[in-house]
Structure 1
Amino acid sequence: MNPSGPHQTIGLTTISRTVASLAVGVVHTLERAVVGEARVRTAQGNAWEAVCADRARADQRAELDRLVAELSAARAAARDRQPVS
């Protein structure tokens, strides 16, 4: 039986893959038309955005850690200044 013959059957998975492939093509074309050629997301752009987001989160964590340390030090200093009853 020749798979490329006139009696080739098309399965549900073949149709699903075809539809998905066409949908991806349409979305990609639409994105280029809407946002412009220069602003189309790429894997490299996505990776850089992830790196920047990670750095921003690390900076926020460091700032929060600094604030917590300051509050702890202030609380300890206030506790040390209280007279013993």
Structure 2
Amino acid sequence: MSTNGPNQTIGLTTISRTVASLAVGVVHTLERAMVGDGRMRTARGNAWEAVCADRARAEQRRELDRLVAELAAARAAVRDRREERDPQPVS
């Protein structure tokens, strides 16, 4: 069955796909004109930015873990000094 006949109907999905395709083309052309070919966003560039962001978040988590460990050690040291100075009577 041929879809190129004279009685072919255009459905809502066909119109939506056409409009989306035209919109993507316009955005692509506009981006190329505004930022230039050398600064166009690419899948590779997006992936690298995601990798860099993941590394930065991991570094922040390590730094926070280190600070929490230092705080816990400092509190334990203070607690130990208090117990040495003021021993609690055992009943």
TM-score over 0.5 for the pair: yes
Partner of 1:29: 29
Which structure 2 residue ranges, 5 or more long, are not aligned?
A: none
1:36 deviates by 1.3
Percent identity between the two aligned chains: 80
Separation (CA, whole Å) in 2 of partners of 1:60 and 1:43: 26
Count of matched residue positions in the alignment of Structure 1 and Structure 2: 85
* Amino acid in structure 2 at the alignment position of 1:47: A
Identify unmatched segments of 5+ residues in structure 1: none
Choose from 77, 84, 87 the match for 1:84.
Answer: 87
Instruction: Indicate the structure (1 or 2) with the bigger Cα radius of gyration.
Output: 2
Deviations 1:36-75 (A, max 9, x none): 1111111100100000000000000000000000000000
Instruction: Return the TM-score normalized by structure 2.
Output: 0.88
Could you say what secondary structure the match of 1:73 adopts? helix
| Residue identity opposite 1:30 in structure 2 | L
Counterpart residue number, 2:39: 39
Q: Distance in 2 between matches of 1:48 and 1:14?
A: 35
Matching residue of 1:9: 9
Q: Alignment RMSD, CA only? A: 1.1
Q: Which residue of structure 1 aligns with residue 20 of structure 2?
A: 20
The TM-score with structure 1 as length reference comes to 0.94
Distance 1:46 1:38 in 2: 14
Q: Which runs of 4+ in 1 moved over 6 A?
A: none
Residue 9 of structure 2 aligns to a residue whose secondary structure is: coil
| Aligned equivalents of 2:59, 2:74: Cα separation in 1 | 23
